[in-house]
Amino acid sequence: AQKITQTQPGMFVQEKEAVTLDCTYDTSDPSYGLFWYKQPSSGEMIFLIYQGSYDQQNATEGRYSLNFQKARKSANLVISASQLGDSAMYFCAMREGGKVTGANSKLTFGKGITLSVRP
């Protein structure tokens, strides 16, 4: 079974509007972390936001927020006030297991969602 599922094939949003990118995950580990990365056409992977499984509040980083619904195992990324530079591929990823100082576990990635921002 896929551990990270991103089913939206492609998303379009008007500049300055908000957009939600969906991510569901599957794990039996009570301790895990969820991450979102952005990959523009240039290819680099840019870390956006992190949510821990025990975090009580949804994570926010500037225009990015993570809508974490633990019972539904979803971790959707919300981008507010979209900008043309937000056009990119977005990946949801999960780290399973608790944090072990300095020896952290791998990330498992979803297939990604393409976001296009229209002027």
Partner 1 sequence: DSGVTQTPKHLITATGQRVTLRCSPRSGDLSVYWYQQSLDQGLQFLIQYYNGEERAKGNILERFSAQQFPDLHSELNLSSLELGDSALYFCASSVSKGRGYEQYFGPGTRLTVT
Q: Which residues bind partner 1 (CB under 8 A)?
A: 33, 35, 37, 43-47, 50-52, 91, 95, 99, 102-112
Torsion of CA 78, 33, 111, 69, to 10 degrees: -50
Measured from the CB atom, the residue of 25 and 82 that comes closer to partner 1 is 25
Q: How far is the CB of 48 from partner 1 (least distance, A)?
A: 9
Question: What is the C-alpha separation between 24 and 70, in angstroms, rounded?
Answer: 10
Element (H, E) at 111: none
Burial class (CB in 10 A: 0-12, 13-18, 19+), 9: exposed
Q: How far is the CB of 100 from partner 1 (least distance, A)?
A: 9
Question: What is the C-alpha separation between 83 and 89, in angstroms, rounded?
Answer: 14
Q: How far is the CB of 59 from partner 1 (least distance, A)?
A: 9
Measured from the CB atom, the residue of 15 and 61 that comes closer to partner 1 is 61
Measured from the CB atom, the residue of 82 and 110 that comes closer to partner 1 is 110
Name the one residue in this structure whose structure tokens are 């580990």: 29
Question: What is the C-alpha separation between 80 and 78, in angstroms, rounded?
Answer: 6
Q: How far is the CB of 17 from partner 1 (least distance, A)?
A: 28
Measured from the CB atom, the residue of 65 and 82 that comes closer to partner 1 is 65
